[in-house]
Structure 1
Amino acid sequence: MRIAIAAIIGGIVMFIWGAVAHMALPIGEAGFRFPPQQEAVLDAIGQSATEPGVYMYPSMEMEKYGDEAAMKAFLEESRGKAYAFVVYQPDGNPATTSMAPNLGKQFVSVLLASAVLAWILSLGAWSFGRRVLVAGAAGLFSWLAISVPYWNWYMFPLTFTLGALAEQVIGWLLAGAAMAWWLGRKDAAGR
């Protein structure tokens, strides 16, 4: 029960931090650019993207990756060309109608992540400070495992990647402090 309560506390703190990072601070939108001529770009992408999904421009069919000649030709043809990584939804972004489903999924996501972290924090008879450090390390781990590969392979902007670092590490330090307080409170009561 104490782990579940710690998870709920951590999930609430992380959810609130996410709102602050995205709505009050520039952290959540670091690296975003807002393009002119959006309709023309969406129309052009719609001519190429056949269904909802992630598209890279330029790209090549996966089955051709084993073909050395095709790979060489693709690399030569692509050298110096613009690159785009696009998440395409032909039916639009549901959040333009209501953000409630997205907010619900986000809360469940951070609640589940907090449950895993609360369990990890409960494994040792650690001090408050050590638990907070472990939570910060978990945030750093998540950034290294997800955001850095996106920066490396899919060319996400460095400012976006560093914004994600701040969002994850600060957020998990805050959530970790709240969870460490709760878990430490229960540890002290058990002594």
Structure 2
Amino acid sequence: MIRVLVAGLVGGMVYYVWLVMTWMVLPVHDDSMQQLPGEDQFRAMVVDQEVETGVYFVPFGSPEEIGDPESGFYEKHQEGPLFTLMVQRDGFEPMRPQIFVTGFALDVAASLIASALLWGAAGGCCRSYFARVGFVLGLGLFASIVSHGAMWNWMLVPTAHTLSMAFEVAVGWLLVGLVIAGIVVPPKSVVKIEDKTAEEASAQT
């Protein structure tokens, strides 16, 4: 259990540093997010229309309209543009400390989960170092597919943004895997059984 806690903390630190680098140092997201033309006018429209905090999809249609080729929604959806709008009505200080603290806590929590899962698998499928690295990388790929992949498919998030975010997640968890795979190792009892089995097999040959 101590190894799991240590691995969770160290892995969370590694992933946190990686995220900071992808957004502030490396050009991972340079082309995935752009400034909206007429930003000030758009902000004024959001304020004037009293748009509340939430997620909005444009064009929006009822279940009946979505399945009706004759509906105005159907025509607008075919013509475009299509966009998802995420609105936070109340502003706050950019890059405030709370965001970094919360982000670090989330990364450590995720790393703890990965470490606990790896601990359970280390005595079975993941006895070698690289198998354990692959296990954690698999968690990152899984997370990328069910989150960013799903948003790309269902919410029409642009491909460039999806790929950059998926790359960030997958590579980040690969780096975490390289670290925690050396901390979370198979229980000694499993290693002893393997050694004994190998010795018996060698003796028989």
Question: What is the aligned partner in structure 1 of residue 163 from structure 2?
Answer: 162
Larger radius of gyration: 2
Question: What is the aligned partner in structure 1 of residue 9 from structure 2?
Answer: 8
1:90 paired with 2:81, answer no
In the alignment, residue 143 of structure 1 is paired with which amino acid? Answer: S
Structure 1 residue 45: deviation in Å? 3.0
- In the superposition, relative to structure 1, how do residues 55 and 68 fare at CA in structure 2: closer, same or farther (>3 Å)? closer
Structure 1 residue 7: deviation in Å? 0.4
Question: What is the aligned partner in structure 2 of residue 138 from structure 1?
Answer: 139
CA distance in 1, matches of 2:112, 2:31: 28
Question: What is the aligned partner in structure 1 of residue 54 from structure 2?
Answer: 53
1:65–1:71 contact (8 Å) kept in structure 2:
no
Question: What is the aligned partner in structure 1 of residue 152 from structure 2?
Answer: 151
Of structures 1 and 2, the one scoring higher in RCO (CA 8 A, sep 6+) is 1
Taking only aligned residues, the RMSD between alpha carbons, in angstroms, comes to 2.4
CA distance in 1, matches of 2:111, 2:31: 24
1:14–1:175 contact (8 Å) kept in structure 2:
yes
1:103 paired with 2:100, answer yes
User: Structure 2: 5+ residue runs without aligned partners?
Assistant: 193-205
CA distance in 1, matches of 2:152, 2:56: 16
Structure 1 residue 37: deviation in Å? 2.0
User: Structure 1: 5+ residue runs without aligned partners?
Assistant: none
Structure 1 residue 52: deviation in Å? 0.3
TM-score (norm. length: structure 1): 0.86
2:9–2:108 contact (8 Å) kept in structure 1:
yes
- In the superposition, relative to structure 1, how do residues 59 and 91 fare at CA in structure 2: closer, same or farther (>3 Å)? same
1:29–1:163 contact (8 Å) kept in structure 2:
no
- In the superposition, relative to structure 1, how do residues 38 and 8 fare at CA in structure 2: closer, same or farther (>3 Å)? same
1:39-97 per-position Cα deviation (integer Å, ceiling 9, x unaligned): 1011223344631011111113xxx31467867412124421312211112222x242x
Question: What is the aligned partner in structure 1 of residue 41 from structure 2?
Answer: 40
TM-score (norm. length: structure 2): 0.80
- In the superposition, relative to structure 1, how do residues 142 and 181 fare at CA in structure 2: closer, same or farther (>3 Å)? same
Question: What is the aligned partner in structure 2 of residue 184 from structure 1?
Answer: 185
CA distance in 1, matches of 2:47, 2:68: 26
SS of 1:182's partner is coil
SS of 1:155's partner is coil
1:11–1:107 contact (8 Å) kept in structure 2:
yes
SS of 2:84's partner is strand
